[in-house]
Amino acid sequence: MTSREPLGQRGRLAAAVVVLVALSGLLVGYGALGPDPTENRYPGVETVGPDPDGYVGDPVVLAGQVTDTDPVTIRFGHPDGTGSVVVEGVDAAVLNRDRPVETGDNLAVFGTLVASDTLDAERAIVREPWENLYMYVVSALGGFWVLGRFLDEFRFDRTGYAFVPRDRRLSKRAVRRVLAGRGSAPSDGARGEPAEAGEGGDR
Amino acid sequence: MPDVLAHVLVGYALGSVLAARYDRLTSAHVSLVMIGALSPDFVKIGMVVPGPRIEALLGIPFDWMPLHTLGGSALVVAFGTLLVAPGMRKRTAALLAIGAGSHLFLDFLLLTPSGYAYPVLFPLTASQPPAPNLYLSTDRWPTVVAAVLAVAGWFVRSRSLRANRG
């Protein structure tokens, strides 16, 4: 699997730098774009939060946690602190629930900022607090699955400075060790784990 | 789709079907599709290091969003491809791209507050197309569907492995 670098390691490094510079260019370039309703890009909490007066009369997307239901009020964090708005007409605007909004719900609202502290809701999405937690847990699970498979099936080849598939798969136990942060993955030549009694917590 | 697990399950399903079809592909190649399927969610790095904080730090505009668009995703795939050995780069690029493409497509279908999807084609255009609004990132059923597809993919692949052995 150790075929030659077509452009040498220097050429490869140069290619990687070009890719990363181009990517940075995209991240900066997109950051330089302001909100633009003609491109369906609406300001969010990080833009509106520090300067709500500047967006009165504009369509915005604000998301936050419901702190009160009479009237419905959401609070959100932004770069300069926290802000809150009263959301009008939210129950009719909610797209994904039939029940009224409750305190503690996470609410994402598209609408017009009719005053610096009032949002006239047009479309809204409600999530219960556990739903976000569920998503994080399940997402972490997906991430660790992929990481585990990657460690199991690839190794870093120090002569070619590149990842290559392992010839033999790591033992499940070795993967657990690497994931737990103890020791690094053995390279192909090394044997997996000497099965010493008393080591490891799986018995 | 929604959560990372659903994307990765779809990546597993796609990779498994490809591996069943093309004998040269191993489970390492299935993993490459899964990594690709996860890669647009590198944008979630913004939950740890928010874009505005980087703007304040560097004094220049900055937004992680392009990682979750056509152009940014293509560059991430290109970078990942450079990390593997030369002999497997073409295949790696293709497999990562299939995974990343599946992610971008499934997220295009999401239900959003504004009714518009993310800027899918950036940097070709920063415009956000109308979203089909099919599901939420917190919905459970897409993940269940993805899991069923993954099991089906596993079944197809193990049958082809058995057929090869026999």
| pLDDT, tens digit, 9 for 90 and up, residues A162-182 | 999 998 655 666 667 777 776
CB-based contact A4:B89 (threshold 8 Å): no
**To the nearest whole angstrom, how far is the Cα of B166 from the nearest Cα of chain A?**
22
Taking alpha carbons only, the member of A31, A111, A108 closest to residue B126 is: A31
Here the tokens at position A153 are 């099936």
Q: With bands split at pLDDT 50, 70 and 90, how would you rate the model's confidence at A39?
A: very high
Q: With bands split at pLDDT 50, 70 and 90, how would you rate the model's confidence at B156?
A: very high
CB-based contact A88:B104 (threshold 8 Å): no
* pLDDT score of A191 more than 60: no
| Burial of residue A82, with CB atoms counted within 10 A of its CB: 0-12 exposed, 13-18 middle, 19 or more buried | exposed
Rounded Cα–Cα distance for residues B72 and B40 (Å): 8
Among partner residues A6, A135, A164, which is closest to B137 by beta-carbon distance?
A135
Q: Chain B, 57-76: which have a CB under 8 Å from a chain A CB?
A: 60-67, 69, 71-72, 75-76
pLDDT at res. A197: 39
Cβ–Cβ contact A180 with B under 8 A: no
| pLDDT (tens digit per residue) in A58-98 | 999 999 999 999 999 999 998 889 999 999 999 999 999 88
Q: What is the ipTM for the molecules in this complex?
A: 0.94
What average pLDDT does range B114-143 have in this prediction?
Answer: 94
- Top mean-pLDDT range of A171-175, B3-7, B159-163: B3-7
| pLDDT (tens digit per residue) in B34-52 | 999 999 999 999 989 999 8
* pLDDT score of B96 more than 50: yes
Q: Report angle CA A91, A96, A97 to the nearest 5 degrees.
A: 55
Q: Chain A, 83-102: which have a CB under 8 Å from a chain B CB?
A: 95-96
Q: With bands split at pLDDT 50, 70 and 90, how would you rate the model's confidence at A186?
A: low
Average model confidence (pLDDT) for chain B?
95
Which of B19-47 are b and which e, b meaning 16 or more Cβ less than 10 Å from the residue's Cβ? bbeeeebebbbbbbbbbbbbbbbebeebe
Asked whether the beta carbons of residue A39 and residue B78 sit closer than 8 angstroms, the reply is: no
pLDDT at res. A98: 86
What average pLDDT does range A138-166 have in this prediction?
Answer: 95
* pLDDT score of B124 more than 50: yes
Distance between alpha carbon B105 and the CA centroid of its chain, in Å? 9
Q: φ and ψ at B155, to 5 degrees?
A: -65, -45
What average pLDDT does range B130-136 have in this prediction?
Answer: 94
